[in-house]
Structure 1
Amino acid sequence: MSGLVTVGVDGSEQSLDAVAWAAREAEYRDAGLRVVNAVSDPPAVAWDPVLARAATDRLREDAEQLLADAEARARSVAPEIDVSGVVLPGDPLTVLEEQSRSSQLVVVGSKGLGGFKSLLLGSTAIGLAAHGRCPVLVVREPTEPSGPILLGVDGSPAGAAAVRFAMEAAAARGARVVALHAWTNWNAPMPPPHDPDEPYSNPPGSLAAAEERLLTEALAGIRERYPDVKVEHRTVHGPTRPALIEASRSARLTVVGSRGRGGFGGLLLGSVSQAVLHHASSPVAVVRG
């Protein structure tokens, strides 16, 4: 797997938690870790060049110290990994989106220094999950270290990338996978009729059976590549968002695709992935198809 693991830092406690998580990810993946801090021009540049230069120098000094602290945190978690740090000009979302083009994973905290306490998720995390060019992992609440990897499965071609990500994560951690597929009578496609001459001739329970087959088929090929990973199939008759959010309470990591089979083609992030990002009780990985 090529590319670095990239983590964005801003000095907040959430971003340092993200550094620790990213360091472990780099260790699992036998990859280097790049710590990135984005620095925008200070407001003083618009009205006083002297103050602007002094403010810029101070921002640069603070950023270098922030990187040193973050690199020390990463090495305390995973001493053997290669850690580098860089300060880049620009706003965090733009900088990290650009970094995602050459990364195998980008990790961020749920909220940074600029976040309002009443918000559940920061704008950088939301924007990066929608626009990142690689999987994006948002570190939220303290995780359950012995819990499973929770995988949201919808059977869409785009969701296959999330399945691979979850299986790789479970194999690296020695964890099991809970593959959850939730469906309702409104979002499940009707199976072919039992009798072609009678379009409503399916016996009772055929829709549920079709959804269980969907889950099995979505996992069939990938399970052969990870024979040591235990996978629990969990089919839930009910809305997807509350089912995943509830199941995340006991998970160490929740993995979802960026959009599912019910999404509109023009949307970058689906309603399920957005809801899980905002409300899950574990870190969340959003994987683009």
Structure 2
Amino acid sequence: MVNPVVVGVDGSPSSLEAVEAAAREAALRGTGLRLVHAFGWPSPHVPPGMHPWSPNTAGLRELVDGTLAEAEQRARDAAPGVEITREVTVGEPLMVLEIESRTASLVVVGSRGLGGFGSLLLGSTAVHLAAHGHCPVLVVRGRPDPAGPVLLTVDGSPAGEAAVEFAFAEASRRGADLVALHVWNTWSEHAYEGPGDPLNVVADVERLQEEEQRLLDEAVAPWQARHPEVAVERRLVRSRIRPALIEASQEAQLLVTGARGRGGFTGLLLGSVSQALLHHAHCPVTVVRGKE
């Protein structure tokens, strides 16, 4: 059986949106859905002799049970028939979800969450999981176009191949078109950040463009051959990377990117481009880590 889809739950509106998205993903994959709620004590130290589930915390347990019951109902409404399990655990939320990712096919979180003991879904959680999770991580954000394509960012790195594979499989499951987008330029985005960045730093722009087109074609062609049912648009854009990807996400139902790229001006590094997508994309973002 396919490993379950795991979703972090804290009762916030963002987490409930994540639950609905996760339920639909589980239905597409024909697998179960696992609702996970993790929390720790407000202070760094548990009082001596007190267990987290002692009678003194009974009211807290009722609150958690109510949160999960609402989440489960939202999941059943979004995807009737999906098998749902719950997990409530005491622990640091980032670590709990990272551990869950080891046996999941996909981890889903919201882009915003609650503070306090139940803060599973703060922005730092999404970024941490995208960098350290053991399976693809879907961050639910923005207002996706349900009729839009799956948008794949292509950088041509070996590590990025896992994202290409995921994007084609996801487009096939959804019955959606796929736009494979490679953004290139003639400078390092780390060296130029202002609105007056030069567009012509090298002389042979045409030759460089041909190389970038070849990179895009070589990254996409093998997977396009394996998924003839997916209509693919290969899009080569000369622009600043982050703004171009964020703008393209306006027309998509899902954006898929690698966690780490080639480095340099075409690199999709989690600390820069991928973080920008997690915080500013107009649709949900799936970050897929390749082999190190």
Place the TM-score, normalised by the shorter chain, in its bin: 0.7 to 0.9
AA at the equivalent of 2:11: G
SS at match of 2:159: helix
Match in the other structure for 2:41:
41
Q: Give the Å deviation of 1:114.
A: 1.6
Match in the other structure for 1:181:
182
Q: Mean Cα displacement is larger for which, 145-154 or 55-64?
A: 55-64
Q: Mean Cα displacement is larger for which, 236-245 or 14-23?
A: 236-245
Root-mean-square deviation (CA), in Å? 2.5
Q: Is the 8 A contact 1:41 1:56 kept in 2?
A: no
Matches within 5 A, 1:49-64: 53=54, 56-64=57-65
Q: Is the 8 A contact 1:97 1:133 kept in 2?
A: yes
Q: 1:50 to 1:82 in 2, by over 3 A?
A: closer
AA at the equivalent of 1:217: E
Q: 1:48 to 1:148 in 2, by over 3 A?
A: same
SS at match of 1:234: strand
Match in the other structure for 1:230:
231
Match in the other structure for 2:80:
79
SS at match of 2:270: coil
Q: Is the 8 A contact 1:153 1:215 kept in 2?
A: yes
Structure 1 CA distance for aligned equivalents of residues 113 and 56 of structure 2: 21
Q: Is the 8 A contact 1:121 1:277 kept in 2?
A: no
Q: 1:137 aligned to 2:147?
A: no
SS at match of 1:69: helix
Q: 1:51 to 1:143 in 2, by over 3 A?
A: closer
Q: 1:26 aligned to 2:26?
A: yes
Match in the other structure for 1:4:
4
Structure 2 CA distance for aligned equivalents of residues 45 and 187 of structure 1: 49
AA at the equivalent of 2:26: A
Matches within 5 A, 1:73-222: 73-114=74-115, 122-186=123-187, 205-222=206-223
Q: Give the Å deviation of 1:153.
A: 0.1
Structure 2 CA distance for aligned equivalents of residues 121 and 147 of structure 1: 27
Structure 2 CA distance for aligned equivalents of residues 145 and 110 of structure 1: 19
4+ residue segments displaced more than 3 Å:
42-55
Q: Mean Cα displacement is larger for which, 147-156 or 41-50?
A: 41-50
Q: Mean Cα displacement is larger for which, 179-188 or 3-12?
A: 179-188
Q: 1:82 to 1:220 in 2, by over 3 A?
A: same
Q: Give the Å deviation of 1:270.
A: 4.0
AA at the equivalent of 2:183: A
String of CA shifts for 1:29-67, please: whole Å, max 9, x gaps: 111100000021244944996999455222222111111
Matches within 5 A, 1:248-287: 248-262=249-263, 269-287=270-288
Normalised by the length of structure 2, the TM-score is 0.85
Structure 2 CA distance for aligned equivalents of residues 51 and 278 of structure 1: 34
String of CA shifts for 1:167-225, please: whole Å, max 9, x gaps: 1111111111111101111359xxxxxxxxxxxxx966111011011101101111111
Q: Is the 8 A contact 1:253 1:285 kept in 2?
A: yes
SS at match of 1:241: helix
Q: Is the 8 A contact 2:261 2:269 kept in 1?
A: no
Q: 1:287 to 1:70 in 2, by over 3 A?
A: same
SS at match of 1:31: coil
Q: Is the 8 A contact 2:162 2:289 kept in 1?
A: yes
